[in-house]
Amino acid sequence: MSIQVFGLPVSRGVAIGRAVLVASSRVDVAHYFIDPADAEREYERLRDARTEVSAELMALKQEVPEEAHAELVALLDVHLMMLQDPMLVESAQPWIATRHYNAEWALSAQLEVLTRQFDEMEDDYLRERKADVEQVGERLLKALTRGTGLSPGALANAGARDFAGEDPLVLVANDIAPADMLQFKRSVFTGFVTDVGGRTSHTAIVARSMDIPAVVGAREASRIVRQDDWVIIDGDAGILIVNPPPMVLEEYRFRQRQVELERARLSRLRHTPAVTLDGQTVELLANIELPRDASAALEAGAVGVGLFRSEFLFMNRAGRLPDEDEQFEAYRAVVLAMGGMPVTIRTVDVGADKPLDRASSQEPRHDHMLNPALGLRAIRWSLSEPDMFSEQLRAILRASAFGPVRILIPMVAHLSEVQSVKQWMDRAREEVTARGQAIGEVTLGAMVEVPAAVLILPSLLRTFDFVSIGTNDLIQYTLAIDRADEAVAHLYDPWHPAVLRLIAQTIAQANAMGKGVSVCGEMAGDPAFTELLLAMGLRSFSMHPAQISSIKQRVLRADARTLQLALPAVLDADQPQQACEAAMRTSSKSGAERLAVSSRTVLQ
């Protein structure tokens, strides 16, 4: 039977494939693809884990108190029986052999199949045995994790391998941590769906950076979908279709082909300079998470890196944070790859929906915070960890010897923070120079992410060389909503008049003071806002590499001067989106007339 599940569209396009289900109860085990030659070794790990758990249960039987002996021994015997049942370990083997799942993932997949079967049993007693299966499964998973030393939550990536001839795969999960999402950048997944999340949660942001279809906030998706179900992700409408009928499947395959043709057409623009119809040059930069992303930025035609999210160097490391030399090598690799184009490195921005591993003693304890989004995060955390902050600043300064570097400070809200940052920068510069290490061209900037930063912007710009507007958080803090919470996702509104006025005010003040200003949030990569941001005077956009071509197309077709004339009406409107669309139609007409005049002049 075909089922439709509705969620929030966060990354456009269509994905069709077999469902790979990561259930919420087992989302914290390692999931990665293995080399087919290692299949027997993974299966051996499963058997070893069964032996270990069997020994544990036998030992527990010997320790059961006399007064509770009969009941507990009977329960342990049931668990021992289940442990030896071929439906558990032996039936997980095909997941390893045919899908190339690691042992933990294979066992999780098989447990999901078994628990669904128990749910469908009519006999109440048999149905209740599902809990026993899950308990035995959890013991096996813990034994596997102990045996490998892998940290929970490591959705590791061995997926760069090409599984030619196999069905495409789609990931379905309750949620995916931002650090884990990074591992999918070179994986075989063609799309994903999560039960939770919002349009600008970091899971959604990484999906857009990967340019793969995604739907979040789909509520019960991970409970409805079964392992290996055929599914369609409609990233435009925010729909997940489970077991689609043949006619629907063919329609979506046609749409897939159309999307691929459009992407191929846009890719031809990658080496075309971004200049508006009235001659305004626009800087299109790339947002990246890891050093290897620099190649994608260059391939997309970026003229620099507008945001290097350095916190992703600190994630998935079981608490072992990168030292100065390791960071230096990562930053230098990006600077060298960009070949003289500017690289903007944001200092560590952890907190809220981007926690570090629990093993890290330096991690902010979000579980003790009433509201992590308002807690110890971003520059607040860095200043509370001066040794870590100093290491990062020294590493960035050393990398600047190999090309122009911009240092970006996240979530600045207080002038006292500005002074502290300045002092740590001066100290880091002195320490690097004292070692005899070179420092190149470095500029210092602040992220505008809270309304307070907009209101004190002139004071900030007396210290900083540039500002970068993080629209995702600016919207969140202006409208007082958690952008990762699907319960209030409908209130997240980038078209809200207050948001637009704050952005326009920031751009105007920075331009008036002769300081650089860019937008590095999701609005920069959304074609619906390109003309509006141009009208506000923005000439530097930073976005995920996959979005550059579509934004460049809008820039090439825009008449910035005509758009600027309509800006006051848009900012004063109660419904800015409708006013902006009307202004765009006028601009398009003006641009067409200009092209027609130019063509006639050439022909004459």
Q: Just list the catalytic residues.
A: 202, 520
The residues, ordered by sequence, that sit 6+ positions from 39 with a Cβ below 8 Å of its Cβ are 96, 97, 100
**Which residue intervals of 482-575 are DSSP H helices?**
497-512, 530-535, 548-557, 560-572
d(CA 454, CA 578): 26
- Inter-residue contact 454 to 448 (CB < 8 Å): yes
Beta bridge partners of 275: 281
List, in order, residues 6 or more apart from 438 with CB less than 8 Å away: 398, 401
Say how many residues make up the chain: 604
Measuring CA to CA, which residue among 511, 451, 482, 466 is closest to residue 533? 511
What does DSSP say about strands 8-11 and 214-216: parallel, antiparallel, or unpaired?
A: antiparallel
Residue 33 pairs in a beta bridge with: 101
Please work out, in degrees rounded to the nearest 5, the angle formed at the alpha carbon of residue 468 by the alpha carbons of 466 and 473: 150
Contact partners, residue 238, CB within 8 Å, separation at least 6? 6, 7, 8, 9, 10, 215
Q: With b meaning 16 or more CB within 10 Å and e meaning fewer, what string describes 380-417?
A: bbbbebeebbbbbbbbbbbbbbbbbbbbbbbbbbeeeb
Which helix (H) or strand (E) segment holds residue 264: the answer is helix 246-267
Residue from 322, 323, 338 nearest 288 by CA: 338
Amino acid letter, residue 374 = L
Q: CA-to-CA distance for 127 and 115, rounded, in angstroms?
A: 9
Distance CA 160, CA 515 (A): 42
Nearest to 24 by CA among 172, 233, 231: 172
Under DSSP, the state recorded for 352 is: T
3-state class (DSSP) for residue 545: helix
**Pair of tokens at residue 392:** 């990062």
CB 567 within 8 A of CB 542: no
Q: How far apart are CA 156 and CA 136, in angstroms?
A: 24
Sort strands 3-6 and 189-194 into parallel, antiparallel or unpaired: unpaired
Yes or no: say if 188 and 502 are a contact pair by the CB < 8 Å rule.
no
Question: What are the angstrom distances between the C-alpha of 214 and each of 9, 12, 137, 237, 370?
Answer: 7, 7, 30, 10, 30
**Measured between alpha carbons, how far is 4 from 219 in angstroms, rounded to an integer?**
12
Question: C-alpha 287: how far from its chain's center?
Answer: 11
Q: 107 near 144, Cβ under 8 Å?
A: yes
